[in-house]
Every structure is written in C-alpha cells, then in structure tokens.
Amino acid sequence: MEEWFVIKITDMVTLASTKLRTHRIWTIVFVVVEVLLVTTILTSVAVMRGVEKSLADFGSEGVNGRYMVEAINWRHGSGLENDRKVWDRAEELYEKYTAEHAAMARELGVDYFKDSEEVPTEYIDGERFFNSWTKYGRMALDEARNEAVPASGLPELEKLAEGYDVKQIFEISVKPASGSVRYLENGKEDLAKLARPNSSEQESLFGGVTVLADELMEYYLFPEYQYDDRNIPILMSYESMEKYLELEALPGDAGDEEKLERSRYLEDAARGRVISTCYRNNASRQGVFNAVAIMDEISRNKDNEGYVEPELVYDLPEMPCGAVGVAKDGRSEEQKKQAGLMEEYQKRIGEYEAPEQRIVKFEVIGLVHEVDRGVDLSSQNLWDILRSMTGAAIPSPAIPLSYYAENQEMIDGIFHTDYEDFLGFNEYYAVEFYDAGVAREFLAKESCVVDQNEGCATEEKPFLLAAWGNNSIAIDQIVSIGLRIIMCAIAVLVVFTMVSMGKTVARAIADDRREMAIFRAIGFERSSIMAIYLVYAILIGLIVVILAVVLTVIVGAGANVFFSERVTVFLQASFLTIDPTIRATVFLADGWIFVGILGLVLGVAVISSLVPIWVNMRRDLVKELKTE
C-alpha cells in the first residue's frame, strides 16, 4: 500500500484550483489587497533603486557623490571684545606705537599728530567703549585670540581624523585681491567707475581666487584646455560669466530646459575666452582716487574765482592700466622734501606701499555653478526643496594648485591677505571619506560648536566641520532611511501576508471540513489533503506574485515613459550636470531583489498556511461525517 502515500501534483492542482472558486470572495479580497501591497512595495523598491542609480549617475560628475567634509579653524568670537584686559592691552599698544611713531617723526623732522591714529577705547558720557575695528584694537584682539586658542592646521586635522577611514585631505586657500582686479571693457579702463566707492560690479568677478587641488577642478575644465604661462587659468562660475557677458539673469521661475540652454550657451561663450583685467594695488588705486577727486574738485570750481588749485595735480593715465602721472607740481622744494620725508616715515612704520598696476589676463578654463548647498525647507514647493539638496559646488573663481605652485609669487602679488584669518575662511580643508557613514560620524563627533562669544575652535575640537562640495552625505542618509522604510513596509507585508493568508486558508478549511472527511473516507491520506491546501496557498501566492509583477511592470513602464525625460531634465538642472548624456532612471527593476521579495511573499504565504492546515488535519473523520 506504500504507493498510495501521495497523489500526483497535477491532481493536487486540479483539486486546489476548485478551492479558488469555492472560496472566491475571500480569495479575491486577499489577492487584491496583497497584490496592491506587493505592487506598492515592488514599485517603491524599483523607484528607490532608480533614485539610487540616478544619484550615482548624476553624482559621478566632479565632486558630486563624494563624501567630503570641510574643516574650518574658526577661532573668532565676540566675547573677547568685552574683556577689559584686551581693552587695556589695546591702549597699551596704542601708547607704545604712537610714542614710537612720534619719536620716528621727530627723528625725520616731519609733523606727527597723535590724533590721526584711531583710539582703541574712548569715553562717551563717562562710559568706556572699545573700538574693535581700530588698528590697535584689532592687534590686541588678535593677540588675545591667539593666546586663547592657538591656530590649527593640517597636522591637527590629521590627528583629529585618526581612526576615521579618510581617503584624502585637500588644502583650500581663498585669496582675496589685495587691491582691485577689474576687467577691461573693450580694452579700456573706466577710471571714473573705479574711483566711485560703490562701483564694485567689475571687481566682484575677481575679488579673490581660490586655489584648489587640480583633482577637484579637473572635471569642470573644458576638455581641450591646456594652460600656458601667458594667462592665469581660471575656473569661473556660470553666474560670473553671465554677468561678464552682461546677460540678464534668468528669472527664478525659469524652466529646467531654459536653465540648461543658458548653461550650454555660457559654456560655448566661455570656452577659450581670455579676460583682460587691470590689477591695481591699494596705493595705485588710492592714486586714481586722489587724481579723480582733485580733477573733480577743479572741475567743480572752474567758475570760482577765489578757488586756488592744489599745488600737486595728478594726471590720469591714457593707456589702460597705466600709472597715475603728475599734471602739475607747484610745490616748493621744502614741500617736496617734506613729502619725501613723510614717505620715508611711512616706510619706517611699515605703512608705505609703492603704487603698482599691471594688466593681468585670465583664461577661462572651465565653468562651475554657484550652488547654495543649504537645504531650503522654507520653500512651498517639494521640487525646490529636492533641488536645493542636489548639485555640487566648488568655490569659484578658482585656479589650479599646480599652476599656483609654479607661479606662487606672481599670484600672491595680486591675491593675498595681510590680516590674521580668525574665521578660518581663507585657509581651510576638505576631508574626503570613502563612506558616508564614517563622514557623518566624523561630523557629529569631531566638530566644534559655534558660540557667539567663544567662537568655535577649542584645543580638543579645533575645527568647525560641515558637508563640503555637495549634500552627498545627507542624500546617502535619506536613501538609507528610504531603504529602512521599505524594509519596514516589507515587514508589514510579511505580517499581513502571514495573518491574512493563515485566515484565508483557515476559513477555506473550516468551510471544507465535511468535504475533507469525504476525501479521507474515499481513500485520501491526511498528507494528501494537506498537500492540496498547501497547493491552494501556493496558487494564491503565485497569483499574487504574477499579478503584482504584471502591475509593477505596467506601472514601471508608465513611469519611465511619462517621467523619465522630465526627471532627467530636472536632475540635469538640479545637479547642474555637464555631461548631457547622463539620463535619469525613474524605475529600476532589480531582478534579484524582485525575486527575493516575491519569493518572500510566496514563502510566507505557504508557511502561514501550514498552521491552519496542520491544526485541521488532526480533526476526527467520523465527527465531521456525522455532521452530515
């Protein structure tokens, strides 16, 4: 009788399929709900995978997708400005230097007026005030700040990053122009504009440069670019180029395609462009100011008979970026001697600067967008919030480190600072990590906390840390959270499937008790009947899986057809991509993940049906027949 232990699978399917019809209401309800759930999860997974792939593809450009943290040695705080010891020290410095200056003036025989030097502290209505912007006030503050927290640099950062898996550290130098660097409009220099205090629109293009590692810049460079010694290679922003070309900025609500079109236009316009500028140091610039001011004064008083022209009248240069000349020098020999002595006096006290001006040519080697990387949660538009998260930015205008290393003296002659960098904005670092999680941990654990009074840096935590270049660290976290949500949804699906499938099978068995008794009476073993209900559960699971796959494929195909192009344009405009061939993936059906989820659904359906099947199979055959 051993051959009767089982029935054929085809027979199981035949009998199990009758259950689908007998219990169709419950089966349909379960299948519909389950299909919607599974489809939702499969679609979410596919969309999430699409987002991941799109972020990876769009993030493959430049510094996109790299986990970078900027480290700023911010030692500035306003607390010391209220410290009476600093005030006293400022007074002490004031007294010391004014005494020295007075002695120097006496020695050279020039007039010295102590009142010409700003006092660091003064009494107003009997109350003492500290003038932190004055020369000696700033000197005292600098001393105090250096004493409070010594400056930290690369060695301190490397020490801080010990124990974290750091890929590399980049040194970034921001060099403000020490004077003015103004581009020449049609080869001419508008000196009247230069002399006007508020006309800084030209200078803003080259108000300073950032020296960046070549590796950080190379992606943004025009492919054919090769720099030479004639021009300073410069990576400019699209926005600066727009300003340089005197194009009106696009309105805020401009469409993505319009923005992309503008970017392509600017790239074409910038490629190979050489921008001639005039560099004037502060003394040269002051000379222009003085010349223009005197010329204005003479012009204003041309009808004033009582007006006496100054003895010394300057002549503006005829050549672009030329030196200011002397139009008329009516000074006496004594006056000239005094002027010479004053110049000598200024040299001795370190405040003399010889006028210097020259034409400096920049060659645009690439363009990069200026991106505010802060996430704009105040926007009412979800797309704007998402857009504010994407994109990458490196500082601009920027020159390659390799060029700077070879031409340091020339560059420093134009771009340098003469004040101490307590905010850490001029010399900072970008630490790159292999892993976003490690970058996040580094940020969370090692950053100093900004305090209005104390500044930020401490001896233990000398750097203010923040994401640099992009929001990849945050995006990575958002993707992880998304995946976790999907995992939770899958857990819910598993629980729902277990409960509802168990109930569906239990209900079917409860309804079929007498039928099962008949089957057993005519010779079916318990195991054969169990197998029929197991096949019933498998059939339901398969129906769910097949319908869910079909529905998901339809949704996915629809999503790709309707959204792929729009999302691509959105991401191109958001990430400000340079390579136009990168396409967005809206829906990515990852075969193995799908098989895993579908297998899970099927497995859970089968496993959850086992309990009611097993419980009901133990029922007494006669008892069920007796209910006849």
Partner 1 sequence: MLDGGLLDGTAVCLWGVSKAYGKSGVLSDVNLAIGEGDFVAIVGASGSGKSTLLHLMGGIDRPTSGRVEVFGEDIGRFGDNELAGFRNKIIGLVFQFFYLQPHLTVEKNLEIPCMPALLPKVERARRVRGVAEMVGMEDKLGFFPAMMSGGELQRVAIARALINRPKIIFADEPTGNLDDANTESVVRLLMEINREQGTTVVVVTHDERIAKLADRIIRLRDGGVVCD
Contacting positions for partner 1 (CB under 8 A): 1, 3-8, 11, 14-15, 17-18, 21-22, 514-515, 518-528, 621-622, 625-626, 628
Q: What angle do CA 140, 143, 145 make, to 5 degrees?
A: 105
Q: What is the CA radius of gyration of the chain?
A: 39
Supply the minimum distance, in Å, between the C-beta of residue 602 and partner 1: 24
Supply the minimum distance, in Å, between the C-beta of residue 625 and partner 1: 7
Supply the minimum distance, in Å, between the C-beta of residue 538 and partner 1: 18
Whichever of 21 and 230 has its CB closer to partner 1, that residue is: 21
Whichever of 360 and 529 has its CB closer to partner 1, that residue is: 529
CB atoms within 10 A of CB 238: 20
Whichever of 18 and 335 has its CB closer to partner 1, that residue is: 18
| Contact criterion met (CB below 8 Å) for 368 and 577 | no
DSSP symbol at 114? G
Supply the minimum distance, in Å, between the C-beta of residue 488 and partner 1: 40
φ/ψ of 177, rounded to 5, equals: -70, 135
Whichever of 23 and 66 has its CB closer to partner 1, that residue is: 23
Q: What angle do CA 443, 445, 447 make, to 5 degrees?
A: 55
In angstroms, rounded to a whole number, what is the distance separating the alpha carbons of residues 295 and 328?
12
**Exposed/middle/buried for residue 444 (C-beta within 10 Å: 0-12, 13-18, 19+):** exposed
Whichever of 4 and 133 has its CB closer to partner 1, that residue is: 4
In angstroms, rounded to a whole number, what is the distance separating the alpha carbons of residues 372 and 245?
22
The continuous run of DSSP H or E covering 180 comes out as strand 179-183
| Contact criterion met (CB below 8 Å) for 582 and 57 | yes
Supply the minimum distance, in Å, between the C-beta of residue 56 and partner 1: 52
Supply the minimum distance, in Å, between the C-beta of residue 580 and partner 1: 60
Supply the minimum distance, in Å, between the C-beta of residue 527 and partner 1: 8
Whichever of 22 and 417 has its CB closer to partner 1, that residue is: 22
| Contact criterion met (CB below 8 Å) for 562 and 38 | no
Q: Convert 373-432 into a string of H (helix), E (strand) and C (coil).
A: CCCCCCCCCHHHHHHHHCCECCCCCEEEHHHHHHCHHHHHHHECCCCCCCCCCCEEEEEE
Supply the minimum distance, in Å, between the C-beta of residue 474 and partner 1: 57
Whichever of 7 and 414 has its CB closer to partner 1, that residue is: 7
Whichever of 18 and 204 has its CB closer to partner 1, that residue is: 18
**Exposed/middle/buried for residue 359 (C-beta within 10 Å: 0-12, 13-18, 19+):** middle
Q: Residue 38: which region, alpha, beta or left (left: phi > 0; alpha: psi -120 to 50)?
A: alpha
Supply the minimum distance, in Å, between the C-beta of residue 19 and partner 1: 9
Supply the minimum distance, in Å, between the C-beta of residue 4 and partner 1: 4
Residue 344 three-state SS: helix
Q: Going by C-beta distance under 8 Å and a sequence separation of 6 or more, which residues neighbour residue 555?
A: 39, 43, 587
φ/ψ of 40, rounded to 5, equals: -60, -45
Whichever of 67 and 533 has its CB closer to partner 1, that residue is: 533
Supply the minimum distance, in Å, between the C-beta of residue 607 and partner 1: 25
In angstroms, rounded to a whole number, what is the distance separating the alpha carbons of residues 528 and 522?
12
Whichever of 202 and 616 has its CB closer to partner 1, that residue is: 616
Whichever of 16 and 160 has its CB closer to partner 1, that residue is: 16
**Exposed/middle/buried for residue 233 (C-beta within 10 Å: 0-12, 13-18, 19+):** buried
Supply the minimum distance, in Å, between the C-beta of residue 521 and partner 1: 5
Sheet of 357-368: strands edge to edge? 179-183, 274-281, 357-368, 232-237, 398-400, 208-212, 166-176, 427-433, 67-72, 464-467
φ/ψ of 332, rounded to 5, equals: -75, 170
Whichever of 24 and 300 has its CB closer to partner 1, that residue is: 24
Whichever of 19 and 101 has its CB closer to partner 1, that residue is: 19
498: Cα separation from own chain's centroid: 45
Supply the minimum distance, in Å, between the C-beta of residue 586 and partner 1: 43
| Contact criterion met (CB below 8 Å) for 67 and 472 | yes
